[in-house]
Structure 1
Amino acid sequence: MAHEHAHGKIVVTTPTGKVGSRVVRLLLQAGVRPTLLLRDPDRLDAATRERVDTVRGDQGDADAVLRATRGADRLFWVDPPTPDDDPIVGHARMGANAARAVGENGIGYIVFLSSVGAEKRHGAGEIDGLARTEQALDATGADVLHLRCGYFFTNLLMESDSLREGVLPTPWPLDFAMPWVDPRDIGDVAAARLLAGARPGDRPGGGAGRGVQAVHGPEDLSFSRVARILGRVLGRQVRAERVSDDDVRVGLRSVGMSAGQVEGVVGMAAGLRQDFVPEQERDVLTTTPTTLAAWAHTHLRPLF
C-alpha cells in the first residue's frame, strides 16, 4: 500500500479503547497497515484483524513495548488505567517504557494522549502521572506532541444509575466551566497528527520537537449546564448535585480502590477546580465539533 510506505511503520497502543479504536479505523482508511499493541488480539473484529499487525502485551510490559515498536517511525502512546496502588507511579512506569522504546528503537514521532491539567506538573491527582510521561518523552529529544484533552463525555456513562434518578453527582463546583470532549473527536485529531508527522511550528519558537495541542471539545461546560442538556436529551428532569471529596472517597473505597487510587481520582478535581486555566486557550485548532447533546442522543439516550 503506497500510503503505508509513505508514512512508515505506525504503532498504536490501546487500539480497542474509545480513542485508540478511532485512530485505528482512520489509519486503515488512509491506507496504512498499523501495528497494534494489545493484550488480546481476539478482541479485534475479523475485518480489522486481517488489516493490521499485532503484538500481544500492554504498556506496562517493557519487552512487549520494545517488540511492538521495533522499526517504528511513529507511535500513538496512551497510558491506560493503571492497576498500581499509586497511579502516579504506575503512569511514570509506563511512560518510562515508552521513553525507553523511543530511545532504543529510534522512533521519530510520538503523539501522546495526555490531559488538560498535565501542565501543572504537580497537584492534579492522577493527571500528575500523565505529566511524568510527558516529561519522560520530552527527555528523549524526539519529536513528540502531547494532546491535552478535556473531560470525556463518556465519563457520564458511569453515572447512568444516578441519572435514572434525576441526579448528576459531581465533586466540581456546579458553575465551574471546563472543556468537555467526545473521545471520537480526540481520535480524529490524533490520527491526523500521526499521518501528518512532526511539523515546523509544533513547539514554541518554531521547528519540530516538543509540541502541545489541546483538544477542548466544542465549548466549555459547567455541570449545571450539562444537567440541563441531559435533561432535554433524556426527556426527564436532571439536576447537578455537588458531593464532597469525602463522599467520593467513600464511594471509591466501596468498589475496592486502594488509598492511592482513591486520592488519584479525588485529586484530579481538587487540583483543577480552583483558579486553573488551561495552558492552551480555545481556538480553531483546539476546538472539536461534536456537541454533548449530539453525543448523549447517540450513546446515552438508548440506555434510558
Structure 2
Amino acid sequence: MHITIAPASTQTGQATIRFLLADPTNPSVRGVYRNLAKVPGEFKSHPRFEAVQGDIEDVASLNFKGSDAVLNIQPAIYEDKDNIARARAVSGNIKAAIQAAASVKRLVLLSSEGAQYDHGVGEILASHAAEIVLQGAAPEVVFVRCAYFMENWAAAIETIKKASFFFSTLTPLDFKLPHIATQDIGQACAAELLSTGAPLKSNPYIFDLEGPQPYSALDVKRAFEEAVGKELEVRPVEKEGLLEFWSTVFPPEVAKRITELNLSFLPGGVLYENSKPTGETRYGKTELVVVLKQLLGGQ
C-alpha cells in the first residue's frame, strides 16, 4: 500500500507518518514538503519513506500517482489574507492532483469540530470550505473533525517560566472543552488511511475526534503545576477582552477570525450550542498532563 501525506511538515503530519511507518502492514509513505530541508532525519533514513518537493498551493507541483490514499492537512495562515479563498484554492489543487493520479482510492482530510457550520466559527470556516470542495474528490472520503489541540497550550510556557502565570481565553475557568493530542490525531488518521478499500458508513464519512476527557482552564493549571512542580496562577481573558488580547498576537483580520472562533466554543457560542452535531465521536487516550510535560521538555 502506498500513502501520501500533503503537506508532511506539520506536527500532525509527522505524527501520522510515525504511526504508518510503525504499522506491521509495512505501507510505503510519501511526504510532500515545500522545503526538503524540513524532512526529519528519522524519516530520511527509513527505507519505506520518500520525501518529495511540492506545495499544496501549486497544483503543478503535486504528484499523487501510485498512491492508494492521501492525507490532506491545511495549515492555518496567520496573515491578513482571505483564508476561505485559500482553503478553496488549496482543496481544488488536492482534488485535481487526486483525479490526475487515478490510483487514489481514499482521501482523508484533517478538519475541525465545527466545520459543519458556515457562519460564526471564525478560523474554522476554512475547514468548512475545504470539506465542501473535497466531497467526492476520491471514491472514499473521510473528514476527521478534531477538537481543540492540547498543544495550543504551548503558548503559555513563556509566562509560566518567567513569572509563574499564564493567560486563558477559555472561560469561565471551570468551563470544560474537548481537547485532543497531536499523537492521537496521527494515530486516527493513520488508521483511516490504512483502512482504504473498507466500506464506509457514509461517503463522506465524518467523525469528531476528542481526547479521553474535556478540560477546563483550571484543569490545565493543575496539569501544568504537576509538570513544573510549583503553584501557578491562571489569568482569565474575558469575552469582552478577547479581540484586544488576540490583536497583540496576530494581524487585525487574523485576530478577528481567532476571536470569533474563540467565542464560538464558549458558553453561548455556536459550537457550545452544537445544534448540528456530527453524530459520531471517537476518543484518543493521551491525557493533557502527558502533552504538557512533553512540551516543557522540548523547551
TM-fit CA distance, 1:20: 0.9
TM-fit CA distance, 1:246: 6.3
What's the CA shift string for 1:236-259, capped at 9, x where partnerless?
22233321456444454445x433
What's the CA shift string for 1:176-198, capped at 9, x where partnerless?
21211110111011111111115
Partner of 2:91: 95
Partner of 1:199: 198
Partner of 2:57, secondary structure, is: coil
1:237 and 2:218 are equivalent in the alignment: no
Partner of 2:292: 296
1:287 and 2:268 are equivalent in the alignment: no
Of 40-49 and 185-194, the range deviating more from structure 2: 40-49
Partner of 1:170: 168
Q: Partners in 1 of 2:6 and 2:12 — Cα distance?
A: 10
Partner of 2:123: 126
Partner of 2:9: 16
Gaps of 5+ in 2: none
Q: Partners in 2 of 1:141 and 1:15 — Cα distance?
A: 20
Residues 125 and 39 (structure 1 numbering): CA distance in 2 closer, same or farther, change over 3 Å? same
Partner of 2:273, secondary structure, is: coil
Are the counterparts in 2 of residues 216 and 282 from structure 1 also a CA contact under 8 Å?
Answer: no
Q: Partners in 2 of 1:238 and 1:153 — Cα distance?
A: 18
Partner of 2:28, secondary structure, is: coil
Structure 1 length as normaliser, TM-score? 0.84
For 2:128, the aligned partner's letter is A
Partner of 1:44: 39
TM-fit CA distance, 1:268: 1.2
1:263 and 2:263 are equivalent in the alignment: no
Partner of 1:37, secondary structure, is: strand
Q: Partners in 2 of 1:129 and 1:199 — Cα distance?
A: 29
Partner of 1:219: 213
TM-fit CA distance, 1:24: 1.3
Are the counterparts in 1 of residues 98 and 138 from structure 2 also a CA contact under 8 Å?
Answer: no
Q: Partners in 2 of 1:161 and 1:47 — Cα distance?
A: 28
Are the counterparts in 2 of residues 234 and 301 from structure 1 also a CA contact under 8 Å?
Answer: no
Residues 139 and 201 (structure 1 numbering): CA distance in 2 closer, same or farther, change over 3 Å? closer
For 1:189, the aligned partner's letter is A
Q: Partners in 2 of 1:105 and 1:162 — Cα distance?
A: 48
Q: Partners in 1 of 2:245 and 2:92 — Cα distance?
A: 32
TM-fit CA distance, 1:48: 1.8
TM-fit CA distance, 1:301: 5.5
Are the counterparts in 2 of residues 86 and 261 from structure 1 also a CA contact under 8 Å?
Answer: no
Are the counterparts in 1 of residues 116 and 278 from structure 2 also a CA contact under 8 Å?
Answer: no
TM-fit CA distance, 1:154: 1.1
Partner of 1:4: none
Partner of 1:182: 181
Q: Partners in 2 of 1:193 and 1:266 — Cα distance?
A: 32
Q: Partners in 2 of 1:118 and 1:35 — Cα distance?
A: 27
Partner of 1:212, secondary structure, is: strand
Count of residue correspondences: 286
Are the counterparts in 2 of residues 84 and 90 from structure 1 also a CA contact under 8 Å?
Answer: no
Partner of 2:183, secondary structure, is: helix
Of 294-303 and 20-29, the range deviating more from structure 2: 294-303
Q: Partners in 1 of 2:235 and 2:226 — Cα distance?
A: 17
Q: CA RMSD in A?
A: 2.4
Q: Partners in 1 of 2:137 and 2:284 — Cα distance?
A: 30
What's the CA shift string for 1:74-115, capped at 9, x where partnerless?
101000122561222222221221222233333210111111
Are the counterparts in 2 of residues 233 and 293 from structure 1 also a CA contact under 8 Å?
Answer: yes
Are the counterparts in 1 of residues 4 and 69 from structure 2 also a CA contact under 8 Å?
Answer: yes
Matches within 5 A, 1:75-154: 75-82=70-77, 83=79, 85-106=81-102, 107-140=104-137, 142-154=139-151
What's the CA shift string for 1:40-80, capped at 9, x where partnerless?
22322345224322221221122122x2x133221010001
1:70 and 2:65 are equivalent in the alignment: yes
Gaps of 5+ in 1: 1-6, 204-208
Residues 43 and 301 (structure 1 numbering): CA distance in 2 closer, same or farther, change over 3 Å? closer
Structure 2 length as normaliser, TM-score? 0.86
Are the counterparts in 2 of residues 73 and 109 from structure 1 also a CA contact under 8 Å?
Answer: yes
